[in-house]
C-alpha cells in the first residue's frame, strides 16, 4: 500500500512566487496571494519572484499580462525577478519554456512514471459518460497505461495525436503536509492520471508548475486552497524527479458576503476597478492583508512594512475571509482622513489625471461644451463610482421595468465575455442583442444611458462604456439591475437558459464585415 508524504520544514533560502495567468483582468485574489507570498519571503529575509503562466495560448494576451503587472505594481507589490525585469532563472513566461517541459516529460516516460495516451476526445467523453451512468467519479481509466512499447512506438511513428499522462498509484493514501492544516490525507483513488503534456506540445499547469518551481529554487508555495486536491499530483511528480518539494501553504479563498467564492458576477473583482473608483493602493493592500489575517496588536490599519515586520503565517485563519466592499470603503476613508490637505490634493490629482482617459473624455465632451466649467456637468459621470439613480429613473414609454431589467441582465452577461473591451465590440454586442430581442435600437439604448451616465442627456453611451472600461461598466450595469429590483430565481434561471442560446454577436459582426 503506497503512502507518500513530505515535510513542512525547509532549510533552503526562502523564495516564494506568484504566477498569474494573463487571461483577463488583474484579480484582487491574485494581489491577495501575492501579498502573502511577498510578506512571508521578506519576513524570512528571502526573495519574492513573479512568473507568467501562459500555457493557455488561446486565452493568454500581452494586454492582460501588462495589466496584471501594472496593477500589482500600483497596489504596492514588487518582485526581485520576472518577465519584465529578467533574472538568473529566465525566461519567466511558460510559453518560452516549452522545450524544458518536453524534456522533463520525456524523462518521466523513460523512467516509466508517465505514458503516452492516444485516446480521442470522443473516447474520453464516452468513458466519462459510462462512469457517471454507473455512479462512479469520472476519471481516466488507464486504458493506454499498459500499451506494449512496440504498439506505442508504432502509433507515434504513424503520427497519431497523443498526450502524455502521469502514472498514479492505485491504492493507498497520499499524505500532504500543509503549513496551516497539518497533514491532509487524500486517497490515491481520488487522484486522476493527469495530462502533463498536451497534443500541441504545451504543458498543463501541473507539469509546468512543478518544473518551474524546482528550477527557480522556490522553497515555499503559498497558493489558494482550491489547489489542495492537486497537491498529490505535484508531490508525486517531485518524487518521480527526485527533487525536494517546496513547503506548501494553501490559503483560504476570498468570499462574497454570502460566503460564495468571490466572483465578478456578484462583486467587482478587478484591481483596476478599485483603482478607478478611487481606492488608495495602500488601503487596498491593507484590506487584503486583513483577509483571514490579524496583526499581533489587532491593528486594523497598517502598512506593508508593518505587516512584514511582524508577519507570522500561523496567524492566518482558515475561515473563508469575506471581501466586503463597504468595509474596504470604510478603511479607505480612514487612510484618506489621515492625509494632510496637501497630500489629499496630490492623491486626487494622481487619480484624476490618467492621461489616456482624460484625452478620451475631452474628445467626447468637446462638441458639447461652451465653457470649461461645462466639463463638470458633461464629464462628471466618468469619475463617479455609481450614478445616483433609482427605479423611476428608468421609466420608459415603450418598455416595462421587467423588460428593461432582463435586457440589462442579458447585456451584462454578454459583455462579460468580450475578448477585447472596445467600442466596436460593445456596439456589435448591443446592436445584436437589440435585434435578437426585436427592440428598436433607440428604445434599447435608453436604459444604458441611465445605467452608465445617470441621464439620457450625455455623451454617446457606447463610447462612454469604452472609456470607463469593462470593470466600471459591468459594475454600473449590475447596480442598475439591483436598483430595478433584480430578477427572481425562476426568472433568472429562465433568462440564463435564454442567454446560453444567444449567438456570439461580435463573431457574427466580424463575419459580416468579411
Strands 195-197 and 220-224: unpaired
CB 195 within 8 A of CB 165: yes
Active site residue 264: yes
Distance of alpha carbon 311 from alpha carbon 43, whole angstroms: 6
Angle subtended at Cα 420 by Cα 416 and Cα 421, rounded to the nearest 5 degrees = 70
Return the C-alpha torsion angle 223, 227, 232, 234, nearest 10: -60
C-alpha distance from residue 93 to each of 19, 35, 50, 208 (Å) = 9, 21, 9, 11
The residues near 113 (Cβ < 8 Å, ≥ 6 apart) are: 166, 167, 240
Strand ranges in 35-152 using DSSP code E only, listed in sequence order: 47-50, 114-117
Residue 327 host element (H or E): helix 325-337
The DSSP symbol for 420 reads S
Altogether, the residues listed in the chain come to a count of 514
* Active-site choice (42, 66, 264, 345): 264
CB 164 within 8 A of CB 193: no
| Per-residue b or e along 21-53, where b marks 16 or more CB atoms closer than 10 Å to that residue's CB | bbebbbbbbbbbbbbbbbbbbbbbebbbbbbbb
Distance of alpha carbon 329 from alpha carbon 172, whole angstroms: 49
Distance of alpha carbon 96 from alpha carbon 208, whole angstroms: 11
R_g over Cα of the chain:
26
Kindly list the catalytic residues. Answer: 264
Amino acid at each position: 500500500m503506497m503512502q507518500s508524504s513530505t515535510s513542512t520544514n525547509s532549510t533552503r533560502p526562502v523564495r516564494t512566487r506568484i504566477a498569474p495567468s494573463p487571461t483577463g483582468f488583474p484579480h484582487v485574489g491574485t494581489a491577495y496571494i501575492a501579498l502573502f507570498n511577498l510578506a512571508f519571503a521578506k519576513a524570512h529575509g528571502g526573495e519574492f519572484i513573479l512568473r507568467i503562466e501562459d500555457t493557455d495560448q488561446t486565452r493568454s494576451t500581452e494586454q492582460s499580462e501588462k495589466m496584471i503587472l501594472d496593477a500589482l505594481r500600483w497596489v504596492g507589490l514588487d518582485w526581485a525577478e520576472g518577465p519584465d525585469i529578467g533574472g538568473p532563472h529566465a525566461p519567466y513566461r511558460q510559453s518560452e519554456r516549452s522545450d524544458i517541459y518536453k524534456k522533463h516529460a520525456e524523462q518521466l516516460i523513460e523512467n516509466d512514471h508517465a505514458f503516452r495516451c492516444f485516446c480521442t476526445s470522443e473516447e474520453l467523453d464516452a468513458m466519462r459518460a459510462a462512469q457517471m451512468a454507473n455512479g462512479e467519479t469520472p476519471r481516466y481509466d488507464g486504458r493506454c497505461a499498459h500499451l506494449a512499447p512496440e504498439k506505442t512506438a508504432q502509433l507515434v511513428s504513424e503520427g497519431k495525436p497523443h498526450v502524455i499522462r502521469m502514472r498514479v498509484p492505485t491504492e493507498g493514501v497520499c499524505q500532504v503536509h500543509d503549513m496551516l492544516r497539518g497533514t491532509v490525507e487524500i486517497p490515491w483513488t481520488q487522484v486522476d492520471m493527469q495530462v502533463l503534456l498536451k497534443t500541441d506540445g504545451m504543458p498543463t499547469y501541473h507539469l509546468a508548475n512543478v518544473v518551474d518551481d524546482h528550477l527557480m529554487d522556490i522553497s515555499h508555495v503559498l497558493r489558494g486552497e482550491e489547489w489542495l486536491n492537486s497537491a498529490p499530483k505535484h508531490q508525486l511528480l517531485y518524487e518521480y524527479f527526485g527533487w525536494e518539494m517546496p513547503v506548501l501553504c494553501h490559503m483560504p479563498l476570498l468570499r462574497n458576503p454570502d460566503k460564495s467564492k468571490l466572483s465578478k458576477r456578484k462583486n467587482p473583482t478587478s484591481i483596476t476597478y478599485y483603482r478607478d473608483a478611487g481606492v488608495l493602493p495602500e488601503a487596498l493592500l491593507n484590506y487584503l492583508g486583513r483577509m483571514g489575517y490579524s496583526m499581533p496588536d489587532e491593528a486594523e490599519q497598517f502598512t506593508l512594512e508593518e505587516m512584514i515586520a511582524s508577519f507570522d503565517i500561523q496567524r492566518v485563519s482558515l475561515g473563508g475571509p469575506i471581501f466586503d466592499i463597504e468595509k474596504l470603503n470604510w478603511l479607505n476613508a480612514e487612510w484618506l482622513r489621515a492625509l494632510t490637505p496637501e497630500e489629499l490634493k496630490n492623491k486626487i490629482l494622481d487619480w484624476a489625471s490618467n492621461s489616456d482617459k482624460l484625452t478620451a473624455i475631452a474628445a467626447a465632451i468637446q462638441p458639447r461644451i461652451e465653457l470649461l466649467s461645462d466639463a463638470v456637468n458633461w464629464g462628471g459621470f466618468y469619475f463617479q463610482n455609481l450614478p445616483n439613480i433609482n427605479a423611476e429613473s428608468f421609466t420608459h414609454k415603450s418598455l416595462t421595468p421587467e423588460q428593461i431589467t432582463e435586457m440589462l441582465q442579458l447585456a451584462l452577461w454578454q459583455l462579460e465575455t468580450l475578448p477585447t473591451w472596445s467600442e466596436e465590440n460593445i456596439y456589435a454586442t448591443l446592436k445584436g442583442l437589440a435585434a435578437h430581442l426585436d427592440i428598436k435600437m433607440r428604445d434599447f439604448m435608453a436604459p444604458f444611458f441611465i445605467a452608465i451616465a445617470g441621464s439620457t442627456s450625455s455623451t454617446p453611451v457606447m463610447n462612454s462604456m469604452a472609456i470607463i472600461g469593462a470593470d466600471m461598466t459591468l459594475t454600473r450595469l449590475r447596480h442598475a439591475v439591483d436598483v430595478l429590483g433584480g430578477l427572481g430565481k425562476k426568472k433568472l434561471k429562465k433568462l440564463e437558459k435564454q442567454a446560453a442560446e444567444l449567438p456570439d454577436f461580435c463573431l457574427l459582426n466580424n463575419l459580416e464585415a468579411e
